Amino acid sequence: MNLNNYEGRVSYNEMDTEVSNSFIRKVFLNMIGGLVITTLVPIYVFFFNQELVYTLASYFKVIAIAEMALVFFLSLGINKMSSTTARLVFFIYSLMNGILFSSLAFVFHPISILYTLGVTVIMFVVIGIYGYTTKEDLTKYSKFLMTGLITIIIISLINLFIGAPLLYWAGTILGVVIFSGLIAFDINRIKYIAYEIAGNNDDEMVEKMGIIGALNLYLDFINLFLYLLRIFGKKRN
C-alpha cells in the first residue's frame, strides 16, 4: 500500500474518470483537513495564547522527533491499522506541526507569512493541475527527485557546521524546485493509483490509501511553504 513503491503503468485515457475523481477528493479532503489544523493552531497561539509558545519551546525537539516517529508509524504500519486510526495519526501529526509553526509568527512578520502562504497555495494549485492533467507518466522522474532530496539533506547538514550563505541559498532554490516537482509527481502518481483501485471493493483499503496520499501531498505543501518562506519571509527586528 506504500505509494512510494508504485510505478505508473496506465495511460490516462484508460482511466475511470468518476472513480479517479472520487479518490482524488478523498486525498485532498484529508490533506486540506491536515493543513487547516496546522494553520489554526498558530493563529490561536499568536492571537489568543502567546504564552503557550514559551511554555512549549523547551519541548520543540521532543515534538519534532515525535513527528518523525508518527510519519514512519503511519507510512510503515498503515496495513495493520484501521482507516480511522490512520486518519487520527495524520491529524495528530498536523496538530504537532501547528505547534512547531506557532513560533514562526514570532520570527517573521505575519504579513510576510500570509504572503508566502498565498504564493504556496497558488503554486500548489497550478503545479497540481499540471500533474493531474498531463498525459506524461511522471514516475520516471522518481530517481531525479530522490537524488534532489538527498542533496538537500546533505547541503543542510554541511551548512549546519559552516553556515555558508551560498549553500543556504543553493539549498533553498533546490528545495523549491524539488518540492514543486514532488507536487506534480505525487498527484500524477495518485491519479494512476486511482485506476488500479477502480475495481476494488475494499473501501477500507481505499480510505487508507487516501490518507497516505494526503500525507505525501501535505508534506510537499509544508516543505514548499518553508522553503518559500526563506525567500519571502521578512524577519522581525
Please tell me the pTM assigned to this model: 0.87
Burial string for 82-93 (b: 16+ CB within 10 Å, else e) reads ebeebbebbbbb
pLDDT in tens, 178-236: 999 999 999 999 888 877 765 666 677 888 888 999 999 999 999 999 999 999 988 87
Q: Note the residue count of the chain.
A: 237
11: DSSP letter: -
Domain borders along the chain are 12-232
Strand pairing partners for 108? 235
Asked if residues 70 and 210 have their Cβ atoms less than 8 Å apart, the reply is no
Q: Return the sign of the alpha-carbon dihedral for residues 187, 192, 198, 204.
A: negative
4: DSSP letter: G
Query: Which pLDDT tens digits describe the chain residue by residue (237 residues)?
Result: 445 544 444 444 444 566 667 788 889 999 999 999 999 999 998 888 888 888 888 888 888 899 889 988 898 888 888 989 999 999 999 999 999 999 898 889 989 999 999 999 999 999 999 998 898 889 889 999 999 999 999 999 998 889 889 999 999 999 999 999 999 999 999 888 877 765 666 677 888 888 999 999 999 999 999 999 999 988 876
Cell (9 digits) for 179: 518540492
Closest CA to 27 of 228, 183, 201: 183
Closest CA to 175 of 160, 190, 154, 191: 154
SS3 state at 147 = helix
Asked if residues 123 and 175 have their Cβ atoms less than 8 Å apart, the reply is no
Closest CA to 195 of 24, 1, 2, 5: 24
102: DSSP letter: T
Distance CA 168, CA 223 (A): 15
